[in-house]
């Protein structure tokens, strides 16, 4: 593969990513052992094929192939019409066959790109070199010597992960800083979740990010690159880039030389450290896998897969902006948290039914887009802050609150039929019991009082009890009005409508 250098000055960072993602499939890549990343019992999901017994034959998992192609299409790649698997030969105890079935010469997907808007304004295009399909290795666990055991430290091997379908994405070295690395990795992770290709959970090892980084030479050509592995989060990947840029720069400035090596990331010290140098290139003796047939795809096959592409994160952002006019931060929350965004969409469609003003859309009393935008924003706020609060506290994504009930509550808040503290109490109860706002407001007597007669009496009492602020207000001190409204609110136990109270006070004090 050839990279076309941009015009670069000396010492500029050149960064490329390699990202592995475990595919979400029912069974493994070449056998029918279950692909269950949550299986805790070691060596439970294994069979003669994924443990490399002689004489066994692999069978290609079609669903895995489909998911890699879907990923390639989401990232604007061209999909190979003809491709095949190859053996990558090396020895390691987590690789029972002594080779990994992978793709080398002809990846399923090539030459794509992903556009990023890291600060929501500047568009950056990161080119994708390739995405190929392979199988994962097992897991090794290194343990200290048991007391009294002369054999010393030991290792355990778990083959549950051996043979799990794994997709590797390689980018061109188009990054120049940690922030963009983070933006890319997050967007890729989100895309994988949206299309159902992978759960892409880094903590569970379902997505693994490796960073390649160098600084340009004096003539602008690429310098020697360092590879950073064992990054346990996207934040760590970004931080390692920013650290490594400085380390290499200082090394070169002090007359040193960057050596080709693999470095690890120390999360406590926030530093990279040398793990092993790459003196000689590995010879993996790649050759075509003789036990598997080559793959062939007609254009219609690829079109069929393309037609199953769901809405992608960026399309969703644009739609949410157009359809609901929400602020960027809200849109981002509803894009990153798909289920929360879906809930918002249900509530939004119910709002149109619940809010009488919105019902007359297009009619004489058309509320106008401004009214609609305000109530949608209010709904978004209550979902993002209040509903999320209860969802997080309860540790469950589920909620008993139907979108209808939620919309009903939002309309009541919007039309000041309930105070915000009252609304919070109602929401809490709704979350617990799933009851409708109407029921709860009645039961708990939480409705906001707008009835002037009742409020009149309250205001009378407040005026009598606070002669000084009343005098001050009459002399033109507006702050005293706020005080009086506050007192009246308290008197009404938070149920008075502050606007109605203000009107009554102004009227009674002759203004
Ligand atoms: P290797 O053979 O060491 O695996 P590759 O050519 O396959 O190297 O590239 C692996 C990754 O390294 C890619 O993401 C690529 O963009 C990036 N890369 C290649 N050359 C450089 C360089 N000089 N500096 C930084 N990253 C690079
Ligand atoms: Mg490589």
CB of 267 closer than 6 angstroms to any ligand 1 atom: no
Q: What is the pLDDT of residues 61-93, one digit of tens each?
A: 999 999 999 999 999 999 999 999 999 999 999
222 lines ligand 1 (CB under 6 A): yes
Question: In angstroms, what is the span from residue 16 Cα to ligand 1's centroid?
Answer: 6
Greatest mean pLDDT range, 354-358, 417-421, 485-489: 485-489
Angstrom distances, CA of residue 482 to CA of 128, 155, 456, 486, 491:
60, 71, 17, 6, 14
Q: Write the burial class of residue 55 (CB in 10 Å: 0-12 exposed, 13-18 middle, 19+ buried).
A: exposed
Distance (Å, rounded) from C-alpha 139 to C-alpha 73?
Answer: 31
| C-alpha dist (Å) from residue 404 to 346, 380, 426 | 8, 14, 15
In this structure, are residues 189 and 197 in contact, taking their beta carbons and an 8 Å threshold?
no
Contacts (Cβ under 8 Å, ≥6 apart) of 428: 390
Query: Which ligand 1 atom minimizes the distance to the CA of 18?
Result: 14
- Ligand 1 atom at shortest distance from the alpha carbon of 171: 14
Ligand 1 pocket, residue 469 CB under 6 Å:
no
Using a 6 Å cutoff on CB, does residue 107 contact ligand 1? no
How far apart (Å, rounded) are the C-alpha atoms in residues 498 and 479?
15
Angular region, 378: left φ>0, alpha ψ -120 to 50, beta rest: alpha
Average pLDDT, the chain: 89
Q: What is the mean pLDDT of residues 345-370?
A: 64
Q: Which residues pair with 124 in a beta bridge?
A: 116
Digit-coded pLDDT (tens) for 173-212: 999 999 999 999 999 999 999 999 999 999 999 999 999 9
pLDDT band at 1 (very low <50, low <70, confident <90, very high): very low
Lowest mean pLDDT among 26-30, 128-132, 484-488: 484-488
- pLDDT for position 48: 97
Q: What is the pTM of this model?
A: 0.83
Distance (Å, whole) CA 48 – CA 153: 29
Cβ count within 10 A of residue 345? 16
Residue 18 Cβ contacting ligand 1 at under 6 Å: yes
User: Closest ligand 1 atom, CA of 214?
Assistant: 24
Residue 368 binned pLDDT confidence (cut-offs 50, 70, 90): low
- Report the share of the chain in percent with pLDDT over 90: 60
The pLDDT of residue 448 is 62
Closest ligand (CA of 19): 1
Q: What is the DSSP string of 383-412?
A: IIIIIHHHHHHHT-S--S--HHHHHHHHHH
Average pLDDT over residues 220-236: 92
């Amino acid at each position: 593969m050839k990279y076309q250098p941009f015009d670069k000055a000396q010492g500029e960072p050149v960064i490329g990513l390699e990202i592995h993602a475990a595919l979400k499939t029912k069974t493994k890549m070449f056998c029918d052992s279950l692909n269950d990343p949550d299986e805790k019992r070691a060596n439970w999901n294994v069979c003669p094929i994924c443990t490399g017994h002689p004489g066994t034959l692999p069978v290609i998992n079609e669903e895995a192939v489909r998911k890699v192609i879907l990923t390639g299409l989401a990232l604007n790649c061209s999909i190979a019409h003809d491709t095949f698997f190859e053996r990558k030969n090396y020895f390691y105890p987590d690789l029972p066959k002594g080779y990994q079935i992978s793709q080398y010469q002809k990846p399923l997907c090539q030459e794509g790109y992903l556009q990023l808007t890291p600060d929501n304004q500047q568009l950056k295009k990161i080119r994708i070199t390739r995405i190929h399909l392979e199988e994962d290795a097992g897991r090794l666990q290194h343990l200290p010597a048991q007391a009294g055991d002369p054999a010393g430290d030991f290792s355990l091997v778990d083959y549950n992960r051996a043979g799990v379908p794994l997709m590797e994405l390689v980018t061109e070295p188009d990054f120049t800083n940690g922030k963009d690395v983070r933006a890319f990795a997050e967007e890729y992770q989100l895309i994988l979740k949206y299309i159902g290709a992978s759960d892409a959970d880094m903590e569970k090892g379902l997505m693994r990010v490796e960073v390649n980084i160098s600084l340009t030479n004096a003539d602008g050509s690429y310098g020697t690159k360092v590879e950073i592995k064992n990054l346990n989060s996207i934040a760590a990947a970004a931080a390692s880039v920013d650290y490594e840029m400085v380390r290499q720069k200082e090394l070169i400035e002090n007359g040193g030389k960057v050596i080709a090596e693999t470095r690890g990331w120390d999360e406590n010290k926030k530093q990279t450290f040398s793990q092993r140098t790459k003196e000689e290139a590995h010879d993996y003796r790649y050759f075509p896998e003789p036990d598997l047939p080559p793959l062939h795809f007609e254009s219609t096959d690829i079109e069929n897969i393309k037609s199953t592409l769901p809405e992608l994160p960026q399309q969703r952002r644009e739609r949410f902006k157009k359809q609901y006019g929400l602020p960027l931060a809200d849109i981002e929350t509803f894009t990153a948290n798909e289920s929360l965004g879906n809930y918002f969409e249900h509530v939004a469609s119910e709002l149109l039914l619940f809010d009488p003003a919105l019902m007359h859309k297009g009619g004489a009393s058309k509320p106008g887009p401004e009214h609609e935008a305000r109530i949608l924003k209010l709904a978004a706020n209550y979902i993002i802050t209040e509903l999320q609060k209860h969802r997080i506290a309860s540790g469950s994504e589920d909620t008993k609150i139907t979108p209808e009930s939620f919309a009903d509550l939002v309309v009541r808040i919007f039309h000041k039929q309930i105070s915000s503290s009252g609304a919070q109490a109602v929401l809490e109860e709704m979350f617990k019991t799933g009851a409708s706002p109407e029921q709860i407001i009645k039961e708990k007597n939480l409705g906001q009082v707008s009835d002037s007669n009742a409020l009149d009496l309250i205001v009378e009492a407040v005026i009598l009890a606070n002669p000084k602020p009343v005098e001050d207000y009459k002399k033109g001190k507006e702050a005293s009005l706020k005080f009086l409204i506050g007192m009246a609110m308290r008197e009404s136990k938070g149920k008075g409508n502050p606007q109605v109270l203000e009107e009554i006070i102004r009227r009674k004090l002759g203004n």
